[in-house]
Amino acid sequence: MGFMALPELGQDKGYLSETVFTSIFLSFLLWSFHPFVYHSKRFYTVLLWRRVLAFLVASQFLRIITFYSTQLPGPNYHCREGSKLATLPPPKNVREVLLINFPRGVLFGCGDLIFSSHMIFTLVFVRTYHKYGSKRLIKLFAWLMAIIQSLLIIASRKHYTVDVVVAW
């Protein structure tokens, strides 16, 4: 449904979702370490990161389970029929098997969809700021950025709508 509702961004604007994700990630990273700069004790950075990382590990474990139990064709341009990047070349040695053709397989991988890892990271960061942050306007802006990130992921055809919905 998302593909029908949102126009495709295309290869030239596919970076937009990555830019939004990077800005959310870096903002959260800077905010989480601000007690060291401003010497405020609203939260303890180590405990915050311990909770965030524990949740991310649990989420990635669930993602692995859904990844192995579902199979959808990749929606991105490089996964479509006729693309030279749609299939990875067979591995030539053990190192390539273990690294899954790194970095080409990471950049041009197809099929690791349900659910969106970008959305999980975004939602964990936004939810953490919502709980521990103090600025109401920034909280609202963070949720708006999460919604925009969701739409951009679908519009750039990096994930199907179901991948983003399951992550939410």
**Ordered alpha helix ranges (H), 14-89:** 15-32, 34-38, 45-69
CA-to-CA separations, 150 to 22, 104, 161, in angstroms, rounded: 14, 24, 9
Q: Which of 34, 112, 130, 163 is catalytic?
A: 163
Where residue 39 falls (left for φ over 0; alpha for ψ -120 to 50; beta otherwise) is left
The CA distance from 30 to 24, in Å, is 10
8 Å CB contact between 126 and 146: yes
CA 30 to chain centre: 18
| Catalytic residue list contains 159 | yes
The CA distance from 24 to 145, in Å, is 8
| Catalytic residue list contains 163 | yes
Active site residues: 118, 159, 163
